[in-house]
């Protein structure tokens, strides 16, 4: 088959299917994945796990096999839990990556058609435009001002300009221009695949959230080691044998290390990312979930994001030219078409093609030269039939034309209606000057139905909005006013009017409802930088080939999945699969909920640690006159029995209805509010209930301060203390669901996972205390009825203390109206 025939007709659908079956899909060979067993073993040999293994060996050598077995169980359970979360998160990320749109325009059977990049085969005629990712190795045949970014392969960001006959390679991007090319190699036979086989995949740097959580874990672990060392010294002073003192202190330290925290966070982020994907928001990096929740300023495009991107020609002004001629020139200078009833290409150009066909315009002509649209020229032109045909933004086209009376009034009338206006002209030569003005075409793109509600949500959430668009300022203002985005001061500026100084730019735009029209990609980059310099967490949308720098500069780059370019999607943190502004708002809400969930199970973990430490502190401070309420094995059992499942369930807590009714939260995960709640309210209450149950059972059994209690009485009292901690944690789990509402005002059925976790914990409590062998191993016994009654007081005690604290905080908020709303 000759190249000329291929370029004219392309492959047949049958031939393409046969080649796909012969050569396989156009996908890169999967990199070597780490086996699951290796991932599992890694969770067993990190720093804290090695510390635990060493402790178990020492316990075994010291003749304490029970402690050795318990420590091994902790290692295995924590390791298995962490592995399960990492494996599940990795699988979720793989599924999310598969959702990223990857299509290519080809010519088959003589018609333009869109196929999945994986279905591209050698011999296909590929049609390239600015913004496309090149999905296979191609040989160029027809080139029009083509520019390609090969930095993926060469490391140099400099644009190259290949000519007809040159090769371009998979993984590179079309920066500008257009071309037709023939695929020469696909999948594992491409140059990119060869490089991938030689290059080990670089490990991803830790996310800001992971760094912050790692800091929390290190601080808590450091405190645990310090407490263990202190208890070792106290045990020595009280006459305990050195070996026993060491094991005692080591057991306390081991019990207080929050090893399950990071995998719990990872799973929470992965679950949120999957929920976002279900809502058409594809998160490309898990850490972006949390960053989304911190957004304070959203810079949104207009077309397709606030509007439906379903354009129709709504008005045409042609004073001296038949409408069909105007549409013919507009379509000749376009590449978008309606093909077999399906739109292919830019929706605006498809709308022009549909209207031209309706008017009976002849849109088929041999094009001898093409000058594609770019953000600087803001127009596109072709030479066909010996004449120049051009369309573009009115302010870019009208200066090239001979004067036409009434054009300014017609342009203003269309723009004030919210229409997107194109100017159409033609010339007798290929030179873009002294052109014949043909007319104005007004296209209507209706706003999306629920955009106004999404904008209202942003306003009550304290998120500022700006429309940043390339459209005419009158059109942008009309749409902004219609959807409710335009601010009270009705500020509308163009890119040319923006201050040159970034500080002045930030001051100008740092307001709600500003509209910036006729922006260039460079303007968007400056806007993102200026707003970030004023302390904002900026989310920036973009769909163009040159939007990549702005998307990377913003804290959250958001690309369009349905209409955006591959370049923009590669640079973005979030891809909107439906291009819908309301999807951004839903993603922000999920991001805020995830941040709140991390704080929830942090509070839960730390409260339990207070209750676990208290018996040892009381024993040490009393000089041993008050016996230990809990053994080290019981503390380990509490970690196994109370932390994992409820913490996991708290990580799945749905978003509070008032999540978007307050400004975004930023800053440290463990702030003053968390510390006060843990160490000033929940922890001490749970500790008092625990020690009250323990000492109450001892006193009811005839024990006196300083005396050595009977072994059976001590075991029963210890069982009561153990039960008080577990029951207190039940109440704590529900209390941690909100930072403002007490348990009685919460809907219990909104988090069924938590109900299930509490039910499982109740069964475990009965197993730990009800089975004599297990209870004896841990060092406790089934408490008497009075002990259970005292232990049960932990539930109302925690609930009431939590309610009193929240009521006090609510009173302070009412007294200080300017205080931040912390409803969770």
Q: 137 and 183 in contact (C-beta within 8 Å)?
A: yes
Q: How confident is the model at residue 666 (pLDDT cuts 50, 70, 90)?
A: low
CA 230 to each of CA 227, 243, 253: distance values in angstroms, whole numbers, following the listed order: 5, 15, 10
State the pLDDT at residue 816.
Answer: 66
Tens of pLDDT, residue by residue over 140-198, are: 998 887 888 776 565 455 568 898 889 998 878 887 788 999 999 998 888 877 655 54
Q: Which of 109-113, 427-431, 561-565, 785-789 is predicted with the least confidence, judged by mean pLDDT?
A: 561-565
**Residues 29-39: what's their mean pLDDT?**
69
State the pLDDT at residue 94.
Answer: 57
Determine if residue 622 is left, alpha or beta; phi over 0 gives left, psi from -120 to 50 gives alpha, anything else beta.
alpha
Q: 746 and 734 in contact (C-beta within 8 Å)?
A: yes
Tokens in use for 702? 């005839």
Output the pTM of the full model: 0.71
State the pLDDT at residue 210.
Answer: 57
Residue 297 has pLDDT above 80, yes or no: yes
State the pLDDT at residue 724.
Answer: 95
Residue 818 has pLDDT above 80, yes or no: no
Measured CA to CA, the distance from residue 618 to residue 665 in angstroms comes to 37
Q: How confident is the model at residue 435 (pLDDT cuts 50, 70, 90)?
A: very high
Nearest to 615 by CA among 724, 721, 732: 721
State the pLDDT at residue 821.
Answer: 47
**Count of residues making up the chain:** 824
Q: Characterize 87-119 residue by residue with b for buried, 16 or more Cβ atoms within 10 angstroms of its Cβ, and e for exposed.
A: ebbbebbeebeeebbbbbbbbbeeebbebebbb
Tens of pLDDT, residue by residue over 347-400, are: 888 899 999 999 999 888 888 888 888 777 889 999 998 899 999 999 999 999
φ and ψ at residue 510, rounded to 5 degrees: -75, 70
Measured CA to CA, the distance from residue 246 to residue 234 in angstroms comes to 11
Strand arrangement, sheet containing 538-542 = 281-283, 574-576, 556-560, 538-542, 297-300, 464-468, 514-517, 492-494
> CB under 8 Å to 543, separation ≥6 — which residues?
301, 304, 559, 560, 563, 564, 565, 568, 579
Instruction: Scan for tokens 């800001």, then name that residue.
Output: 208
Measured CA to CA, the distance from residue 786 to residue 695 in angstroms comes to 12
Q: 717 and 701 in contact (C-beta within 8 Å)?
A: yes
State the pLDDT at residue 200.
Answer: 36
Q: 447 and 475 in contact (C-beta within 8 Å)?
A: no
Bridge partners (DSSP) listed for residue 390: 381, 425
Active-site annotation holder among 124, 132, 137, 301: 301
Instruction: Please report which helix (H) or strand (E) contains residue 338, including its range.
Output: strand 337-339
Tens of pLDDT, residue by residue over 402-434, are: 989 999 999 999 999 999 999 999 998 888 889
Q: Is the dihedral of CA 229, 234, 236, 242 positive or negative?
A: negative
Q: 372 and 334 in contact (C-beta within 8 Å)?
A: no
Percent of the chain with pLDDT over 90: 36
Where do the H-state alpha helices sit in 510-660? 521-533, 548-553, 566-571, 581-621, 632-638, 644-650
**Residues 570-581: what's their mean pLDDT?**
83
Q: In the 3-class helix/strand/coil scheme, how is 400-463 assigned residue by residue? A: HECCCCCHHHHHHHHHHCCCEEEEEEEECCCCCCCEEEEEEEEEECCECCCHHHHHHHHHHCCC
Give the residue, 623 or 743, on which the prediction is more confident: 743
Residue 674 has pLDDT above 90, yes or no: no
State the pLDDT at residue 608.
Answer: 86
Tens of pLDDT, residue by residue over 201-254, are: 334 444 456 566 666 667 777 777 787 788 788 778 877 777 667 766 766 776
State the pLDDT at residue 58.
Answer: 66
Give Cα 242 distance to the centre of its chain: 51
Measured CA to CA, the distance from residue 584 to residue 578 in angstroms comes to 10
φ and ψ at residue 421, rounded to 5 degrees: -110, 135
- DSSP-based three-state secondary structure for 8: helix
Measured CA to CA, the distance from residue 686 to residue 733 in angstroms comes to 12
State the pLDDT at residue 205.
Answer: 41
State the pLDDT at residue 138.
Answer: 94
Measured CA to CA, the distance from residue 463 to residue 54 in angstroms comes to 51
Nearest to 251 by CA among 228, 230, 221, 220: 228
Q: How confident is the model at residue 3 (pLDDT cuts 50, 70, 90)?
A: very low
**Residues 483-501: what's their mean pLDDT?**
93
CA 649 to each of CA 79, 411, 629: distance values in angstroms, whole numbers, following the listed order: 19, 58, 29
Q: Characterize 285-302 residue by residue with b for buried, 16 or more Cβ atoms within 10 angstroms of its Cβ, and e for exposed.
A: bbbbbbbbbbbbbbbbbb
- DSSP-based three-state secondary structure for 573: coil
Measured CA to CA, the distance from residue 306 to residue 579 in angstroms comes to 9
In the residue annotation, 301 being an active-site residue is answered as yes
Measured CA to CA, the distance from residue 813 to residue 224 in angstroms comes to 35
Tokens in use for 507? 């001051």
State the pLDDT at residue 18.
Answer: 94
State the pLDDT at residue 261.
Answer: 65
Cα diameter, the chain: 112
Measured CA to CA, the distance from residue 628 to residue 694 in angstroms comes to 9
Residue 789 has pLDDT above 80, yes or no: yes
Q: Which of 119-123, 301-305, 515-519 is predicted with the least confidence, judged by mean pLDDT?
A: 301-305
Helix axes 581-621, 242-256, angle to 10 degrees: 160
- DSSP-based three-state secondary structure for 543: coil
State the pLDDT at residue 68.
Answer: 75
Q: Which of 521-525, 546-550, 690-694 is predicted with the least confidence, judged by mean pLDDT?
A: 546-550
Tokens in use for 716? 């029963």
Most confident of 114-123, 537-546, 744-753: 114-123
- DSSP-based three-state secondary structure for 282: strand
Q: How confident is the model at residue 19 (pLDDT cuts 50, 70, 90)?
A: very high
Bridge partners (DSSP) listed for residue 184: none
Q: In the 3-class helix/strand/coil scheme, how is 100-159 assigned residue by residue? A: CCCEEEEEECCEEEEEEHHHCCCCCEEEEECCCECCCEEEEEEEEEEEEECHHHHCCCCE
437: Cα within 13 Å, side-chain hemisphere: 25
State the pLDDT at residue 375.
Answer: 72
Tokens in use for 190? 């491409």
Q: How confident is the model at residue 574 (pLDDT cuts 50, 70, 90)?
A: confident
Residue 532 has pLDDT above 70, yes or no: yes
Q: 696 and 716 in contact (C-beta within 8 Å)?
A: no
Measured CA to CA, the distance from residue 247 to residue 66 in angstroms comes to 12
Measured CA to CA, the distance from residue 548 to residue 245 in angstroms comes to 60
- DSSP-based three-state secondary structure for 252: helix
On average, the pLDDT of the chain sits at: 83
> CB under 8 Å to 120, separation ≥6 — which residues?
26, 104, 106, 126, 135, 136, 183, 186
- Distant-in-sequence contacts of 33-39, Cβ < 8 A, 24+ apart: 36/83, 36/87, 39/83, 39/86, 39/87
- DSSP-based three-state secondary structure for 299: strand
State the pLDDT at residue 729.
Answer: 92
Residue 648 has pLDDT above 70, yes or no: yes
Tens of pLDDT, residue by residue over 321-336, are: 999 999 999 999 988 8
Q: Which of 129-133, 254-258, 474-478 is predicted with the least confidence, judged by mean pLDDT?
A: 254-258
Tens of pLDDT, residue by residue over 600-622, are: 888 888 888 888 888 888 887 78
């Amino acid at each position: 088959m000759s190249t000329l025939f291929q370029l004219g007709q392309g492959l047949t659908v049958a031939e393409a299917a046969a080649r796909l079956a012969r050569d396989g899909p156009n996908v890169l060979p999967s990199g070597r994945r780490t086996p699951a067993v290796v991932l599992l073993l890694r969770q067993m040999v990190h720093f804290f796990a090695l510390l635990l293994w060493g402790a178990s060996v020492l316990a075994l050598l010291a003749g304490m096999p029970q402690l050795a077995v318990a420590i091994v169980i902790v290692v295995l359970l924590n390791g298995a839990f962490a592995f399960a979360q990492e494996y599940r998160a990795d699988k979720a990320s793989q599924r999310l990556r598969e959702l990223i749109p990857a299509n290519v325009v080809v010519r088959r059977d003589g018609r333009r058609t869109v196929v999945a990049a994986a279905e591209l085969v050698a011999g296909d005629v590929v049609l390239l435009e600015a913004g496309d990712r090149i999905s296979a190795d191609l040989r160029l045949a027809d080139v029009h001002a083509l520019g390609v970014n090969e930095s993926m392969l060469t490391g140099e960001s400099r644009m190259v300009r290949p000519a007809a006959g040159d090769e371009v390679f998979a993984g590179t991007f079309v920066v500008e221009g257009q071309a037709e090319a023939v695929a020469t190699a696909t999948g594992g036979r491409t140059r990119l695949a060869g490089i991938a086989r030689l290059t080990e995949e670089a490990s991803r740097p830790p996310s800001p959230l992971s760094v912050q959580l790692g800091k929390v874990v290190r601080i808590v672990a450091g405190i645990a080691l310090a407490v263990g060392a202190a208890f070792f010294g106290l045990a020595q002073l009280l006459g305990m044998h050195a070996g026993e003192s060491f094991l005692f202190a080591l057991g306390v330290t081991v019990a207080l290390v929050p090893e399950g925290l990071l995998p719990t966070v990872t799973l929470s982020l992965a679950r949120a990312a999957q929920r976002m994907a279900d809502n058409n928001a594809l998160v490309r990096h898990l850490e972006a979930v949390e960053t989304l929740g911190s957004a304070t300023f959203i810079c949104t495009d207009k077309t397709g994001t606030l509007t439906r991107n379903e354009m129709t020609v709504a008005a045409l002004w042609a004073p001296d030219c038949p409408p069909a001629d105007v549409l013919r020139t507009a379509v000749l200078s376009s590449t978008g078409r309606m093909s077999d009833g399906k739109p292919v290409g830019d929706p605006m150009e498809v709308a022009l093609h549909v209207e031209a066909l309706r008017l009976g315009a002849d849109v088929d002509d041999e094009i001898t030269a093409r000058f594609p649209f770019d953000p600087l020229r803001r127009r596109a032109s072709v030479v066909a039939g010996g004449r120049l045909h051009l369309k573009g933004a009115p302010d870019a086209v009208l200066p090239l034309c001979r004067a036409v009376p009434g054009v300014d009034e017609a342009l203003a009338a269309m723009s004030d209606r919210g229409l997107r206006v194109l100017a159409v002209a033609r010339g007798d030569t290929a030179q873009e000057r002294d052109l014949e003005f043909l007319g104005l075409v007004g296209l209507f793109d209706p706003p999306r139905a629920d955009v106004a509600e999404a904008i209202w949500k942003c306003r009550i959430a304290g998120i500022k909005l700006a429309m940043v668009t390339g459209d005419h300022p009158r059109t942008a203002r009309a749409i902004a006013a219609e959807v409710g985005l335009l601010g009270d001061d009705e500020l509308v500026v163009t890119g040319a009017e923006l201050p040159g100084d970034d500080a002045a730019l930030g001051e100008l735009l740092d307001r709600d409802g500003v509209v910036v029209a006729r922006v260039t990609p460079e303007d968007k980059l400056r806007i993102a930088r200026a707003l970030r310099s004023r302390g904002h967490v900026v989310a920036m949308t973009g769909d163009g080939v040159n939007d990549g720098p702005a998307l990377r500069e913003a804290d959250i780059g958001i690309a369009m999945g349905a209409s955006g370019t591959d370049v923009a999607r590669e640079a973005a943190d979030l891809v909107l699969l439906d291009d819908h502004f309301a999807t951004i708002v839903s993603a922000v809400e999920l991001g805020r909920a995830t941040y709140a969930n991390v704080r929830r199970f942090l509070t839960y973990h730390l409260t339990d640690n207070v209750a676990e430490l208290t018996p040892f502190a009381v024993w040490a401070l009393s000089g041993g006159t008050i016996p230990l309420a809990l053994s080290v094995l019981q503390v380990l059992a509490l970690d196994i029995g109370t932390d994992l499942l409820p913490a996991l369930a708290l990580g799945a807590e749905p978003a509070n209805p008032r999540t978007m009714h307050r400004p975004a939260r930023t800053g440290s995960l463990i702030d003053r509010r968390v510390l006060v709640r843990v160490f000033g309210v929940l922890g001490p209450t749970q500790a008092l209930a625990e020690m009250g149950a323990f000492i109450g059972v001892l006193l009811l059994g005839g024990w006196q301060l300083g005396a050595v209690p009977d072994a059976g009485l001590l075991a029963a009292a210890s069982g009561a203390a153990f039960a008080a901690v577990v029951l207190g944690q039940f109440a704590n789990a529900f209390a941690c669901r909100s930072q403002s509402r007490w348990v009685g005002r919460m809907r219990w059925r909104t988090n069924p996972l938590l109900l299930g976790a509490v039910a499982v914990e109740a069964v475990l409590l009965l197993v730990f205390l009800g089975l004599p062998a297990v209870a004896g191993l841990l060092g406790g016994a089934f408490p008497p009825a009075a002990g259970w009654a005292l232990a049960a007081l932990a539930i109302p005690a925690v609930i009431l203390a939590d309610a009193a604290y929240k009521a006090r905080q609510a009173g302070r908020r009412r007294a200080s109206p300017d205080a931040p709303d912390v409803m969770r």
